[in-house]
Amino acid sequence: GVLGVGGAEPPELKGDLLNVAKISDGGKKQRKNWTGMWGELTSDQLLLHKERQQEAGMKAGGKTDVVQLCGAVIEWTPDKSSRKNVFQITTHTGSEYLLQAESYSTASKWFDGIRKTVDSSSKL
């Protein structure tokens, strides 16, 4: 893709409930287990919060999964689930996450945002 001089700030997204299944942890296959998680996209990470309040930085006792996007690969993966709007993030350490949203507009908004973050953080 073509970025202007200085690049563009990656869009930061939050506030959507995403269905997440971690299917590999550092190359080790995991049993698929879909869980609703609150997404938050930063300049180089996808944070997946168990509790919505964690988006605001408040303690909520839930846990946050941190997906490093530098060197990651993101792709639509219609064959990996019977669900619609499923895409996969493969991190540089070989962890694989399936993400899904009921609405295509929500799924594609996150796909596009994460892809831009992957591109910009992998360039540094």
The footprint of ligand I3S (CB under 6 A) covers 32, 34, 81-83
Instruction: Quote the least distance from Cβ 121 to ligand I3S, whole Å.
Output: 28
27 Rama class: left (phi>0) / alpha (psi -120 to 50) / beta: left
Closest Cα to residue 112, out of 10, 22, 8, 23? Answer: 10
Instruction: Quote the least distance from Cβ 120 to ligand I3S, whole Å.
Output: 30
Q: Which is nearer to ligand I3S, 14 or 83 (CB)?
A: 83
CA dist 108 and 92 (Å) reads 22
Closest Cα to residue 10, out of 108, 90, 118? Answer: 118
Q: Which is nearer to ligand I3S, 82 or 105 (CB)?
A: 82
Q: Which is nearer to ligand I3S, 83 or 109 (CB)?
A: 83
Instruction: Quote the least distance from Cβ 66 to ligand I3S, whole Å.
Output: 23
